[in-house]
Structure 1
């Protein structure tokens, strides 16, 4: 009699995804490639690397001119939508070749936010440019894009959308952990001891700092490299007090903001009210503003640990000010401690959101955005092959762990699946 043996457990399915991101600093496109493995209620993300390319000078100028408080035309919007889409497409092709050995299966593109229509604490609409058809045509892969609009249509803020990913990453950490991203705008997700998440935009991250750098250098510098100017300056208390009086800061979460509020004209109005100041003092004051508003937003939750990402983490002056504002009882570390490079964390997060959309799973957290309920986010643009969607998992993943990549994983031969072009 042959003894009974249980069949081996099914092999966990994996998908290689490229996440594309350009944040509110509007200076470059980032592509992060990941192998995402689904096993029951767990997701495992294996980072395969990141590549980044700045927008060319002409596109960057056209984008800066069109953004608030500038004026634009539909012709400008069409050109920007096309050229941004082409820039994303070029980087996606490069990421597939250099990071995935040509075996990527899906692209998740956040696009470039150009307007977030927020008024009276409510978001009425949002617009991200970067036509996904250019990406699908160049790569031959299906593209998930337009993530924010569905959350807004469901009554949500449409941001920050990384709340679900942050909750999965922070799950099980001791104390009250928070994930912070300091891009043009700073956003945070907090996980309270009972597992209840909260997410919000705290206010400007680098947006006003970058505007000041351009203002004082007549456009020669886009940012205060390594916070050098700010480190030479002294905080100007009247300017800081005036900026801290902004009504946005006292709005309850969930809330979101953008360059529609915190733009160069906003800064010039504040500077005109206090009189001429040396550039280093203005940069020092704006650095303190970002640090103070982040810390003030996190303090009511009793946060014990902050895992930071985004371009702001490369500014020593800003990180020193934030550490001071948070206090000695709060541990401030880069998201690299979780295995996610701080420069690529948001691109990896959108790769996961794209995976969720492909599998018919909600990508928003209503508690974090204010939406009426969980929603599958975005739209899918097919690649070269007919689009065959995978089966929806019986359970949505609850945790996300980051695993170290082995180099062999990048070149492992695989058969083309229903998502890959032949």
Structure 2
């Protein structure tokens, strides 16, 4: 009997920890058995942040690759134990790794994810698929976003226009037209939580603004918002992808230097509005579209409510209404991508990434 259980391991641009999901997958269904979140220790987060800013040495990058490989392995073991599954019950693990640098438009394009998959295999005894992005990039794509293929497979529905919006450190969306499933598309819209998190940490010492409470104390500074919205990335045509290489604290401070004496809480509220507007303004214009949110941003009440306002009259929901908890969509997506690889099926959408064609993604590390 073919094994249909897979583990997906995901750590996003927020660099806050690892999400692991143990799922059973068929061509059209997902059954979530167990989940686990493994937060990063503060020292590890700080080291990852330094490396992502090009301050790491080869020694440090190698050490982090090893440390993260061990942690990703522990996250996989955690969901095995919680789900009461044995290693032999699982067909494969899909590990996204931790992105520390994403440069899809440089003269020599690359995307670097750390978290040695050899260590995951050694710790679990399960075949592990990793390095998903570079095969797409070798074919001329940007290697991101990769989750729209999963969104199309599991959230697309004939006769229903849907848009899946993932608000992680960076925000992206998948457009799923109900009358043309082959026309699914999407791209990174820009900052999700990344700028709000960076500003909050800089001014309060907290890694994120819980429920957007600090932002709610502030007022949108329209001049600052307009200046931020003028960044060329937002008007750039797709395919496009971005990361904290561009949208980081230095970016905020560079723009803020042109706007004197803006209160910190007002900056936070303006950054929240920037996320809202850059998502809402770049979504498809279908009047019948339903919008479904996933990712860590769903837990920010202020952000969720402002997205509801900005996207009206089109309704905004959580992916919970489509049968998958918004916290676990991305981890599940990488379980599905691992399945695609093991079945030798493509995992990219060329219309999304810009690749010249469909490609089987990732490398398989065998036990």
The match for 1:201 is 188
In structure 2, runs of 5+ residues without a counterpart are: none
The answer to whether 1:323 aligns with 2:304 is: no
CA deviations over 1:369-416 (Å, ceiling 9, x no partner): 111111110000111xxxxxxxxxxxxxxxxxxxxxxxxxxxxxxxxx
Question: Which structure has the larger Rg?
Answer: 1
Alignment coverage as a number of residue pairs: 363
**Displacement of 1:72 after TM fit?**
1.5
Structure 1 equivalent of residue 10 of structure 2: 21
Structure 1 residue runs of 5 or longer lacking an equivalent are 1-10, 384-422
Q: Measure how far apart 1:277 and its partner are.
A: 2.1
Q: CA deviation at 1:165?
A: 0.9
In structure 2, the residue matched to 1:376 is 360
CA contact (8 A) 1:145 1:380 kept: yes
| Aligned-residue CA RMSD (Å) | 1.6
State the shift of 1:65 in Å: 1.8
Is 1:135 aligned to 2:124, yes or no?
Answer: no
- CA positional deviation for 1:174: 3.8
**What does residue 333 of structure 2 align with?**
349
TM-score by length of 2: 0.95
1:168 is aligned to 153
Task: Look up the match of 1:49.
Answer: 34
Counterpart of 1:216? 203
1:158-307 matches, within 5 Å, as 158-192=143-177, 193-195=179-181, 196-217=183-204, 220-302=205-287, 304-307=289-292
Is 1:92 matched with 2:76? yes
Q: In proportion to residue count, which structure has more helix?
A: 2
TM-score of the superposition, structure 1-length normalised?
0.83
1:154 to 128, 135, 139: 139
8 A Cα contact 2:188 2:242, kept in partner: yes
- Name the CA shift for 1:106/1:167 in 2 (closer, same or farther; >3 Å): same
Q: CA separation in 2, counterparts of 1:251 and 1:302?
A: 23
Give 1:50-65 correspondences, 5 Å limit. 50-65=35-50
CA contact (8 A) 1:178 1:303 kept: no
CA drift at 1:28: 0.7
Query: Residue 99 of structure 2 aligns with which residue?
Result: 113
1:358 correspondence with 2:326: no
- Alpha-carbon deviation of 1:104? 2.8
Cα pair 1:170 1:178 within 8 Å, conserved: no
Shift, 1:118, TM fit = 3.0
1:133 is displaced (CA, Å) by: 0.7
Give, in whole Å, the separation in 2 of the partners of 1:175 and 1:105.
33
